[in-house]
Amino acid sequence: MSDLAITSATRTTLLELNKTRALLDISAKRLATGKIVSSALDDATVFFDAQGLTSRAAELLALKNGINENVTVIGGAIDALEAMIDQIDDIKATINAAKGGAVTGEVATTLTGTYSVTSAAAAVATEIAGAENGDSFDITYDRITTTISIDASTTFTALASTINDISGLTATVSDGNPIVITAADGQDITIANNVGDLGITDLGLSTATSGTTGVNDARSAAEVQFDLFRTQLDELASDSTVLGKNLLNTSPDTLSVSLSDLSTSTLSVAGDATNVTELSITAADSANSFSVDSGITAAVAELDAAKAVLAATVSTFSSHLDTLETRVDYNTALINTLEAGAALLTSADINEETANLLALQVRHDLGVTALGYSFTNGTALTELLRLG
């Protein structure tokens, strides 16, 4: 058992390290922008009080700071979601590695019917008054449900043989005895009626949970890691708060991003609660144990489904960022101040190549056409350089 403890601790450290890395990024955003953005706004106020500059410049700065803050919050959420996806990949590998490991100490589950069969070679439908051709019942074992049905001539022996064919189960019947079904690995055997009441009433079979599944160090360690992973996933969401906003916790915030200082145009970005419950990642407990391979397979299927949900959330937030980029429209008002404004509006969005060419053009014009002209009266920039 001490070996098991060391292995768990090592794996815990690795998982913690991965999580810490992701959180460091998010924390850095939190610390950095908290101080810098507020000081930028303070600076802006100082500038304008001191210099008596246009309120339009102050409004533009405030607007852009607001956009910067919101963009940073969205960026923080995306970072957290991508960290979650990485953690899913890690834990999948860990639990998959535990599959196939031999277990020890299992106690078989035994299911004994209450109906004692008179003649095992007799047809079920003949011997039991209530049983008919076409009746059936369901056996669920190892997460698989099999329907067992009879026709007019199916014997008890044949019925037991069909159950015996189910991988992992053995079934016996003999004259004067009930049907006995055994699961050697200790998993539950669940019985449900399907057509008629053959299973529960006629044969007296009921759900059996008396067994215990065996243990194996790697499987047990995998369960411990899985539970740790579930906790950390939730922590990634709750810790992704940036500038007081959290888009992923159980009651997430909605961002309302101002896109213009001259209108009430805003972009709304809704949060999306993200946690193991929302993602349907079930805990590895006795009902979903990794002591059997089907438990691990089921968990992996849940993890894959969760990954797809997380990827979709990342995609949604990313497209919000794209939308924001195209919808900031304070620039519309800016361009309209020029006489040629209308023509320019259609080409207001430029790419890097065009920007470089424009900059070259400006450099040329400043040297020739606009020789001696400056953009500003220099006062605000003098202050900016002094403080920056």
Partner 1 sequence: MYKAASSAYDQTKRLALPPRQVEAMAFSKAAQVLGQAGESESDYRSRISALTFNQKVWTFIQSSMMEETCRLPDSLKADILRLSIFVDKQTFKAMALPKAEIQEILKALIRINEHIARGLLSRGEDREENITPPRQYPQNPRRTLS
Interaction of residue 268 with partner 1, rule CB under 8 A:
no
Nearer CB in complex with partner 1: 59/132: 59
The footprint of partner 1 on residues 198-257 (CB under 8 A) is none
Cβ pair 349, 326 in contact under 8 A? yes
Size of the residue set binding partner 1 (CB under 8 A): 78
Q: What DSSP string runs through 227-250?
A: HHHHHHHHHHHHT--BTTB-SSSS
331 binds partner 1 (CB under 8 A): yes
Binding of partner 1 by 364 (CB under 8 A): yes
Q: 43 vs 217, which CB is nearer to partner 1? A: 43
CB 290 within 8 A of CB 219: yes
Closest CA to 267 of 210, 323, 201, 183: 323
Instruction: Tell me the Cα Rg of the chain.
Output: 34
Minimum distance of partner 1 from residue 210's CB (angstroms): 54
Q: Does 368 bind partner 1 (CB under 8 A)?
A: yes
DSSP 176-242: TS--EEEETT---BEEEEEETTIIIIIS----B---B--B-HHHHHHHHHHHHHHHHHHHHHHT--B
Choice between 301 and 381, CB closer to partner 1 = 381
Q: Between residue 74 and residue 133, which ones bind partner 1 under the rule CB under 8 A?
A: 74-75, 78-79
CB closer to partner 1, 11 vs 19: 19
Toward partner 1, which CB reaches closer, 61 or 181? Answer: 61
Contact 275, 281 (CB under 8 A): no
- Which range binds partner 1 by CB under 8 A, 135-143, 170-178, 263-271, 344-352? 344-352
- The correct pick among 14, 46, 50, 350 for binding partner 1 (CB under 8 A) is 350
50 touching partner 1, by CB under 8 A:
no
Give the footprint of partner 1 on residues 29-48 (CB under 8 A): 29, 31-33, 35-37, 40, 44
Of the ranges 148-156, 168-176, 281-289, 326-334, which one interacts with partner 1 (CB under 8 A)?
326-334
Question: b vs e for 221-239, b when ≥16 Cβ sit within 10 Å of the residue's Cβ?
Answer: bbbbbbebbbebbbebbeb
**Candidates 150-158, 160-168, 229-237, 380-388 — which segment interacts with partner 1 by CB under 8 A?**
380-388
Identify which of residues 37 and 192 has a Cβ nearer to partner 1 in the complex: 37
Among 8, 64, 192, 228, binds partner 1 (CB under 8 A): 64
Q: Phi and psi dihedrals of 54, rounded to 5?
A: -60, 140
Q: CA 28 to CA 69: how far, in whole Å?
A: 14
Residue 337 sits in the site that holds partner 1 (CB under 8 A): yes
The answer to whether the beta carbons of residues 354 and 22 sit under 8 Å apart is no
User: Stretches 4-12, 53-61, 196-204, 220-228: which one binds partner 1 (CB under 8 A)?
Assistant: 53-61
- For partner 1, the closer CB: 305 or 348: 348
Query: Would you count residue 311 as binding partner 1 (CB under 8 A)?
Result: no
Question: In the block, which residue shows the tokens 């860990």?
Answer: 94
Name the residue nearer to partner 1 (CB basis): 215 or 380.
Answer: 380
Stretch that binds partner 1, among 65-73, 148-156, 228-236, 274-282 (CB under 8 A): 65-73
Contact of 185 with 168, CB cutoff 8 Å: yes
50-80 burial, b at 16+ Cβ within 10 Å, e below that, comes to eeebeeeebebbbbbbbbebbbbbbbbbbbb
Residue 16: half-sphere exposure toward Cβ, Cα within 13 Å = 6
